[in-house]
């Protein structure tokens, strides 16, 4: 059976020693009183909840799955899920970073980020039920009417109700301009919604008394394409004026998908048969409102994979220390045993270090983005808010795609550490691999994220956003460039930082002449950008560790941090050279292939 220990020490290192979040919060009136002790106490209790309440349900939930009663359209979640959710609500965990005006605790987003990392390590399928509610909450908080906020936000904040996002239809996934769901205006100002949605995570379940669906649909006179999409809030049960649950709305589960992973989460086919809803935001402007939820979800999916990377690493490490096979190539290490633990073998260490590096790099980037969100929403200086928003927009597709790609590599490597046992269900590793695979697909496939990064976020503003991040890199290089002990971290970072401008300009120029060039280079480009970000944070983390060691701190944590950073720069970062070469290879060998596909 697998085990899980919340990585509180590493979270504290990232938050307090690298990002110095308490200092950042002093500039935010809303969070000025939040100190390290408060954050640590919340995360310690959150880690206990993850490890003790939801983690024990992970394998059993995967085995049991969700069951649909086709006669009532009700879904039963796996045994223990509902009881765990009740404890979640009782503990106030749903309200952690929500607005106090609606019953929230008002804590910074970065605290919620770390809490949900632990929840995703413990049980991704379970965590998706409350996790999706945050996106619905954010969309309504940003674009809802006063009446919608009054009716829905307190219940979403408390966790009494959950939320979903209903985008995908059988004939359209990412291309939302093709959607056909209709919204007909009614005399009372409401709308009757009719259509079919698929792949709706947490779309039906027995854990709450109501589910708040956010649904994309078209008005009768809507323009074609994505410019004719509106957003509607369509509850499972209609909501009375006093906030109580009313009669059943005809929006229901017509089927459950039979999936490769995340079996404990109900991925529903949703039938909408004249259900009553109200519009969120302006007519035909639904994508703007939904993107609030979609961007929150994309950051959340990166967090899901970060959680899986961490828990897979922990279990593979424990197994490698215990499992004995063969002798070390450099001589016997465990003289009292018939063979040495497999952790003595170089390639086993490579697999373990790959997972560890991807977890630590991902944690630093994800926490950094969460702090940027806190600053975007709460900083008194408009320029800081604008710059933070621009950096979050740049980094969101990298968080989603780079961390989820890395998690697939990491969980597969960790499964490999177990050898044949990694293929056996009781050890838990094959579930982490299966669960990790979806994260590369949903909330916009990773290719879509790559196109978004290169085409929209970088070339779309002539590299202005990339230059903003480049300034952070340049500042670190300037500050640490004369430190000989930092050379092994700073030199490759500085080199890639210089290369990125030329690389981006070259791809952009080719793309201007032939747009397929952007499509051919985008996936490789995103991985290069991801490594630039990871290298920046590994250099920052190494700098902190070196200073602690120089000051006489003998905590082995800092030596381990340096060793992981050295491994990252030696074994993972060099991928950037081959990626830039394949990106520059162009689109011709991809597109001039009619004979191949004839």
Annotated catalytic residue within 443, 480, 517, 548: 443
Element holding 464 (H helix, E strand): helix 464-480
Report the distance separating Cα 475 and Cα 528, nearest Å: 20
Distances 514 to 209, 508, 509, 519, 591 between C-alpha atoms, Å: 53, 10, 9, 10, 11
Closest-CA residue to 550 (of 542, 36, 9, 357): 542
Reduced to 3 states, what is the DSSP secondary structure of residue 218?
strand
Asked whether the beta carbons of 457 and 465 are under 8 A apart, the reply is yes
* Residue whose tokens read 């219940």: 155
Report the distance separating Cα 31 and Cα 20, nearest Å: 14
Distances 65 to 258, 259, 266 between C-alpha atoms, Å: 10, 10, 8
Distances 299 to 346, 390, 516 between C-alpha atoms, Å: 34, 15, 27
Ramachandran quadrant class, 73 (left: phi over 0; alpha: psi -120 to 50; beta: rest): left
Catalytic site residue 443? yes
Structure tokens at 363: 């944690």
Q: Which residues contact 251 (CB under 8 A, 6 or more apart)?
A: 193, 213, 215, 234, 236, 270, 271, 272, 273, 275
Report the distance separating Cα 508 and Cα 504, nearest Å: 6
Report the distance separating Cα 544 and Cα 10, nearest Å: 13
**CA angle, 360 as apex, 354 and 364 as ends, to 5°?**
145
Report the distance separating Cα 376 and Cα 362, nearest Å: 21
Report the distance separating Cα 557 and Cα 565, nearest Å: 12
Report the distance separating Cα 58 and Cα 79, nearest Å: 11
Report the distance separating Cα 343 and Cα 337, nearest Å: 14
CA 42 to chain centroid, in Å, comes to 21
Number of Cβ atoms within 10 Å of the Cβ of 183: 29
Closest-CA residue to 521 (of 588, 577, 575, 583): 583
Closest-CA residue to 168 (of 197, 211, 134): 197
Report the distance separating Cα 575 and Cα 347, nearest Å: 18
Asked whether the beta carbons of 158 and 137 are under 8 A apart, the reply is no
Q: Which residues are catalytic?
A: 443
């Amino acid at each position: 059976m697998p085990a899980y220990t919340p990585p509180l020490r590493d979270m504290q290192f990232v938050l307090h020693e690298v990002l110095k979040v308490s200092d950042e919060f002093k500039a935010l009136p809303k969070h000025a009183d939040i100190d390290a002790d408060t954050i640590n106490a919340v995360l310690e209790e959150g880690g206990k909840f993850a490890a003790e309440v939801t983690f024990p349900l992970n394998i059993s939930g995967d085995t049991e799955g969700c069951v649909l009663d086709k006669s009532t359209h009700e879904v039963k979640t796996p045994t223990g899920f509902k009881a765990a959710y009740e404890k979640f609500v009782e503990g106030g965990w749903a309200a952690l970073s929500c607005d106090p005006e609606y019953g929230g605790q008002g804590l910074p987003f970065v605290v919620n980020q770390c809490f949900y990392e632990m929840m995703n390590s413990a049980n991704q399928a379970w965590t998706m039920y409350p996790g999706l509610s945050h996106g619905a909450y954010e969309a309504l908080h940003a674009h809802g009417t006063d009446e919608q906020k009054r009716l829905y936000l307190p219940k979403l904040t408390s966790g009494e109700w959950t939320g979903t996002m209903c985008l995908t239809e059988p004939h359209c996934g990412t291309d939302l301009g093709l959607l056909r769901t209709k919204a007909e205006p009614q005399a009372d100002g409401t709308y009757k919604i009719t259509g079919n949605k698929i792949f709706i995570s947490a779309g039906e379940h027995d854990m709450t008394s109501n589910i708040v669906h956010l649904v994309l649909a078209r008005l009768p006179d809507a323009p074609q394409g994505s410019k004719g999409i509106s957003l509607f809030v369509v509850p499972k049960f209609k909501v009375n004026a006093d906030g109580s649950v009313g009669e059943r709305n005809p929006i229901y589960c017509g089927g459950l998908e039979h999936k490769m992973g995340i079996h404990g989460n109900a991925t529903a086919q949703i039938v909408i048969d004249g259900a009553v809803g109200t519009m969120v935001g302006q007519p035909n402007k639904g994508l703007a409102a939904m993107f609030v939820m979609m961007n929150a979800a994309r950051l959340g999916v990166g967090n899901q994979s970060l959680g899986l990377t961490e828990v897979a690493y922990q279990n593979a490490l424990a197994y490698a220390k215990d499992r004995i096979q063969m002798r070390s190539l450099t001589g016997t290490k465990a003289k009292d045993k018939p063979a040495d633990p497999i952790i003595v073998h170089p390639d086993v260490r490579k697999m373990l270090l790959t997972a560890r590096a991807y977890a630590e790099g991902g944690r630093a980037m994800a926490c950094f983005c969460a702090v940027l969100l806190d600053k975007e929403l709460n900083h008194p200086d408009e320029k800081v808010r604008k710059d933070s928003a621009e950096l979050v927009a740049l980094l969101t597709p990298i968080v989603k795609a780079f961390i989820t790609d890395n998690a697939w590599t990491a969980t597969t490597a960790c499964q490999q550490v177990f050898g044949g046992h990694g293929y056996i269900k009781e050890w838990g590793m094959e579930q982490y691999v299966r669960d990790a695979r979806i994260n590369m697909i949903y909330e916009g496939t990773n290719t879509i994220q790559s196109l978004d990064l290169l085409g929209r976020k970088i070339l779309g503003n002539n590299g202005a956003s990339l230059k903003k991040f480049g300034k952070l890199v340049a500042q670190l290089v300037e500050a640490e460039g004369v430190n000989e002990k930092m050379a092994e971290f700073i030199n490759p970072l500085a080199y890639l930082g210089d290369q990125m401008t030329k690389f981006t300009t070259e791809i952009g120029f080719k793309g201007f002449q032939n747009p397929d060039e952007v499509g051919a280079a985008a996936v490789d480009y995103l991985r290069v950008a991801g490594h630039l970000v990871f290298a920046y944070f590994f250099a920052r983390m190494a700098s902190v560790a070196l200073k602690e060691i120089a000051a006489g701190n003998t905590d082995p944590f800092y030596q381990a941090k340096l060793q992981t950073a050295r491994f990252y720069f030696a074994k993972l970062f060099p991928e950037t050279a081959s990626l830039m070469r394949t990106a520059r290879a162009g689109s011709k060998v991809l597109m001039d292939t009619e004979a191949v596909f004839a």
